[in-house]
Every structure is written in structure tokens, then in C-alpha cells.
Structure 1
């Protein structure tokens, strides 16, 4: 295929991304959700840092992971943002207009994925930075001091930077997972049920099963436990899966959901 034949497709994608961005930014509901993502993530993280205690040295807690606690509830809002991008159009019938304007359905899904990724990435970055700053401010007053073996949180520290950047990517991947699922099921409520069930199923099963090997395996393949491994900065050898490998597992879940959603979008009528 020549470079010239690729240009119309690239131009079409740019125009579709612009159209999707216009739809999202003119919907006040999405703006409030993104602000809610920042507020909930930062507030829960600050609360976790404010209530944590380390009265003696070697208290066995990971201060970075504590400071990023809010990412777990924040992921629900990220999923809602993504689900509404597709579910709202199916609920109102606007999807017919969208597909009439852009007949190539993979372009529509790619544009929605780009807009969702960009907005969640921006909101997630602010939320994670606020969480790290809250931890840096609050944890030393609760015993997480150099005297107890804990340096002040800093993004110049490699493991802390990896945990923070990985948490932002985690939120983006959860949003893409939700986008793919909603594109496949075409219903907002059902999609949110599937997304939350998929995220929390593996942690729940880990609390039910008694076999250590099976529990470890569930933590390795579950999108939430595997993905959140990227936040760990201590005792990495005892993790069921490595930080980046765990985020890779979540990326595979998101890619699989988008593949299924894209296939359904192409093969079924709107």
C-alpha cells in the first residue's frame, strides 16, 4: 500500500478524533466526571496517608503504595467516563449519526479510544501527582521518616516515579478496557457491571481460595491485582508478578476488550 493511499485514512482519523473531542468537551457531565476522578483519587489517597502509622522502624508498609490508594476507587470513575462515551450514543441513537458521518467503524472506535486515553491520562496525571504530594506531606508526621527507614517521597526516585507513572497508565488502560466492553455490549449499565465484575472478581476469588499457588495465579492474571502491582516499591521479590509485567497483563485485557468490541462494531448493525 502506498503512502498516498494511507493519507485519506490518517486524515479521516484526525477529523474523527476532533469530532469526538468536540462531543466530549461540550458535555458538562464528562468534565465533572474527570474532575471527580481527580478529587476522589487525591482525597482517598490523602486519607490513607493521614491515617497510616509507622511508630517504629521497619513497620513493613509501602509508603508509595499507601499514597496511591486513591487510584483504586478512581478507576471506577475512569471506567464510567469511557463507558459513557459509547453507551450514551447507543442510548440516544446518536450512534447512527456518528456511523453515517464516518462509515469506517474501526476509525470511530480508534478515535474514541484516543480521546478517552488523552482525557483520562490528563486527569489521572493530576490525580496521581496530588496523591504523591499528599503522601509526601502527611506520611512523615505519622512515622514514615528517615529515622524509621523511609525517605520522603520524591518523583526523582526511580521506584516512586515508576509507581506514579504506572498508576496513570493503569487508569488509562482501565478506561480502554471499559470502552471495549461497552462497545461490545452496547449498554451503559451492563457494561459497568461487566467492567466492575471483571476488575473485582479476581481479588474476591483470592480471598475465597485457600491454595497459595492458585491465589498467586489469580493475582497474576486478574486485571486489577496484576495491574496495581506497578505501584509496589518494596518487597518486589515477594510479588506474584513484577510491576511492569502486571501492567502488561492489564494491557492485554484492554487490547482483548477493544478487539472484541471492534469486531462486534464491524459485524453488527448499529
Structure 2
């Protein structure tokens, strides 16, 4: 496995655009979170806003870049034909996919941690100026810490989800379209469907809506799923994508 990890790390860090994508993840997460914090204000102790969801709102945008990076980590090899060389040098296809997954999770977790921490600190300053209480977005608070750590886990799971879809689809544009479609389609459907029961069901099975429940720190009883249960839904999506992608990787020719 050491050889697999070294090879996959070398390929990912030398992949054109990897550095820019990682920087974009941080910039988008922080920038969108600060922008979201700047447009809300709180005139009382309970103004109805969840400061953690606002301060970490940028994750909803930067997840698209994480998905693109994950897809390109495997479809890029199919585009260049390097996958044949990879599978010739390392015939264990499951090991190749596992190594890609480990490298992606580690890299996404590191970059995601930087992005989430910077977002929380920057957004806290803005929210304080907008009338939120002094204890807003303190990482020493249990719920806020759970939201921050959960957001990093969320991005790592999105990376695994994208990798699995990329392994199954092989084509970069198609795989990116599938991943982003599955992420953003459910929220769009929830907005256009009037039936409460259908809205609740779509929320519960949506990888994005359910997964981002991990950021909630207020009004938890009103959520269709608890924060950790919601993250488990995204875990199921990522697991299914990886298993499906891994199976197709083993069954098909390169």
C-alpha cells in the first residue's frame, strides 16, 4: 500500500490545476462565509439565525470544487490514457482506488480544516459587528466545534463521493455533472414541491441537505434528521459511490 500511496500522491500533486483548486476551496469557503455573515444582523439575544450555519455557509459553495478535484483525480488518468500504465504497474485495482481515496481524504481534510477555521474566525468578527452576542461562533462551544469538525468531515465525504462517481463514469465532464446534479438537485426540488411530506423525504435523502445538518447548532428539534444522522446519509451516498465505482473499475477494461 505504501507504493500505491506514494504513486497516487505524486500523481495528484502534479495534476494540472491541483494547487489552484485547493486555493479556491479556501478562498471560496472564507469569502462566501464572510459575505453571508455580512448580510445578516441580530438585534436581540434570539434573532432566529444559526450563527454556525451562517459562518460556515461557504462550505455549500466550495464543496463543488472539492467534487471537481476528486473527479479529476481519477478521470484525468482516463483522459490521458495514464490509467493503463497505472493498472499495469499496480494490478490491484482495489488498492489503486483505496490509495486515491486515502490521499484525497487527507488532502481535503487538511485544506478543509484551514478553510473552516479561517471562516469561523473571520465570520465571528463580522457577526459580532452585526449585533450577535459575544459568545457567537466560539470553537470552545460543543455545538460549534461539532459544526466545524463536521464541516471538514462533510468535505472529505464529498471528495469520496466524487471519486466514486468518477471511477464509475470515467468521463470528467459527465462525472462532474452527475455529482453536482445530485448535490444541488434535491435542494432545488424541495423549493418547488409544495407537499410537506415530500419535502421532508427529499431533505432526508439529500446528500447535501442531510449532510449539512451537521452545521446546525440551534433549533435541532425542527430538523428532519439529527446532525450526525444527517452526516450518515452523506456517508451512505459516498460509500455507495465508492463501492459502485470500485466494482466497475474491477470489471471493465482500462
TM-score (norm 2): 0.98
Q: What is the distance in 2 between the residues matched to 1:58 and 1:25? A: 46
Q: How far off its partner does 1:56 sit?
A: 3.1
Deviation at 1:210, TM superposition (A): 1.3
| Counterpart secondary structure, 1:152 | coil
Is residue 185 of structure 1 aligned with residue 169 of structure 2? yes
For residues 37-96 of structure 1, give each alpha carbon's deviation from its aligned partner in whole angstroms, at most 9, with x where no partner exists: 011101111111122111234210001110000000010010011011011100000000
Residues 1:167 and 2:154 are matched in the alignment: no
User: What's the counterpart of residue 90 of structure 2?
Assistant: 102
Residue pairs, 1:1-270, within 5 angstroms: 13-146=1-134, 151-270=135-254
CA-based RMSD of the aligned residues comes to 0.9
Q: Distance in 1 between matches of 2:180 and 2:17?
A: 21
1: distance between equivalents of 2:241 and 2:226? 23
The alignment of Structure 1 onto Structure 2 pairs a total of residues equal to 254
TM-score for both structures, normalised by structure 1: 0.92
- Contact 2:204–2:225 (CA under 8 A) maintained in structure 1: yes
How far apart in 1 are the matches of 2:15 and 2:195? 48
Partner secondary structure for residue 144 of structure 1: coil
**Helix, strand or coil at the partner of 2:138:** coil
Q: Which runs of 5+ in 1 are unaligned?
A: 1-12
| 1:180-234 deviations in Å (ceiling 9; x for gaps) | 0010010000000000111111111111211111111111111000000000000
